[in-house]
Structure 1
């Protein structure tokens, strides 16, 4: 996302968009899932991975917000779509 080449940023932004479309609800569900009364290692691993995804996506969101004004029309359109999809995990 931080590349100086527009084609690299477009590819990265498109990938983020695909991740949000396909896994946004999974990330949100596993972030909100309350701790169980018993040990569930798989759930704890999912929670940890989703927390990592959420952290990375929020840093990407701040990157987009800071570079949104200087983006080309193509990038601006992709950034708008990402920002709309980000609401699914908030």
Structure 2
């Protein structure tokens, strides 16, 4: 079952993950979660990852949406675990 990560992009450009939900592989279920979340915050961000666990989903989110290769991009902040992955770091 996919992991749906929900969060927002903060004022400095960091991707802040605020929720992690294991969801059924059903596009309607995922869309319902995302729509409710996005309506509450215009800076909302959401993505689902077909991974085994939250940690792997965070790694994929960092690699896909944050890592820019030169170390000058934003950070990924996972408020569900207290983990921060700085720009240019290796997520693993």
Answer yes or no: same fold by TM over 0.5: no
* TM-score where L is the length of structure 2: 0.26
More helix by share: 1
* TM-score where L is the length of structure 1: 0.26
Tell which structure's C-alpha radius of gyration is larger: 1
The one of the two structures with greater contact order (alpha-carbon pairs below 8 A, sep at least 6) is: 1
